Each structure stands twice: as structure tokens, then as C-alpha cells.
Amino acid sequence: MESNSLNRFAITYKAGDIIFCEHEIGDKFFMLKGGRIKLMRVIGDTEKTIAILQAGDFFGEMSILNDNPRNSTAIALEESTVLSFTKENLGLLVKNNPTMCIALLKLFSKRIYDQRRQLQILQLDDDVSKVVDVLLMLIDGLPPQSANENARAIPVNVETVANWAGLSVDSARHVLNAYVSQRKMIVSPEQIIVNNISELQRFINNKRKVN
């Protein structure tokens, strides 16, 4: 399937157009061909931007993997063209475009891993354990570093940690502030620095043994 034959799936949105809304049932996923798309999620009583998508990014793909409602709202930040796919035409896409097929397989594999990992986090029975395990998961997703380095800066904010942990932002911030007061972490709007990864790992390992 050449690029020009994908045009049959193209839809253009104007700046401010809503592509889909959080909590609605979806039967399509998208690839951004041109423009910029903002993904937003309601956390507590506030709308938070969770991603700004660029050309080549996929989004809305969880509707293909399961029947859960959308977990974010997608809004065009500028005139944007997307390729819209359903379960029915996914087979045609995969068959005729190997490059896109590989990209989708990687994306779907990551999404499935993320869901399983979040389930592990949510099965923990206290806020501290959930927040710590989220940080460890996010560290695992970072590029490798020297084996003797036990501190790591995670490019994440408190709102994202709260979302992964299934907690309110205030609850997640309370846990993180306790670690900050013990000088075990540094929290800023752009990142969280963990000063002793091994200590957090031992904490979670012991927690899971008890459970």
C-alpha cells in the first residue's frame, strides 16, 4: 500500500476540532499525518495535557486492543490531517504496508505491557507502594545507564505519577513530599530525581513478598 493509497483514510481537522472525547466508546485509531494534536485528560477537577502529538504518531489505538472507553480527549492544535483506521481495515493496512505494520506491533506491545504493569501497581494496597512502583516502572523505561549509578532523573510530573498510580494528585504529592523531606527525592514541575533506586526496589520487593 503506497502512501497515496492511504489518502482514502485521511481526515482533516481545523484548529480546535475535537477528534474524540474522554470516556466515549471508540472504534477507530489514528495516525497523525500532518499538524499537531493535543491529548488531554481530566485529573481531579482539572484538565491536564498529557501529550502533544507530531506527524507520524499513532493515537486512540487502545480502542483496537480492547473495548474500554477512551482515556483521553484529542484536540487539533492547528489544521491537522489524520489517517483513520478501524478494526476492519487494519488487516489491509498490515498486509500492504510492512513498515507501518512493524510500528503498530511495537506500539501495541508497549500498550499491552503498560496495562499489565499498571495492574501490578494498582494491586498494591497502599499509596506509598503505588507511587514507588510507578517511579520504578518509569525508570525501567529510560535509556540504560552505568550499572554503578543509583540515582536517576525521571522526566515526569506529579500528575502523571498520580494517573499511573490511580491516586489523586494530592495523594501522590503527599507521598513524594515525604521522600523529599527525607532527602531521598527531588521533585520539580519537569522531573523527579530519585536518589537511591536500590532502596525503592528493595521496598517494593519486600512489599510483594508480604502480599
> Tens of pLDDT along 91-109?
777 777 777 778 777 877 8
Same domain, 11 and 93: yes
Residue 32 has pLDDT above 60, yes or no: yes
**Residue 101 corresponds to which cell in the numbers above?**
505494520
Same domain, 134 and 188: yes
Number of compact structural domains in the chain: 2
Which are the contacts of 114, defined by CB distance < 8 A and separation ≥ 6?
A: none
**Where residue 139 sits, what CATH number does that domain have?**
1.10.10.10
Same domain, 53 and 148: no
Q: Which residue has the higher pLDDT, 159 or 193?
A: 193
Same domain, 7 and 108: yes
- This prediction's pTM: 0.63
Same domain, 63 and 131: no
Residue 65 has pLDDT above 80, yes or no: no
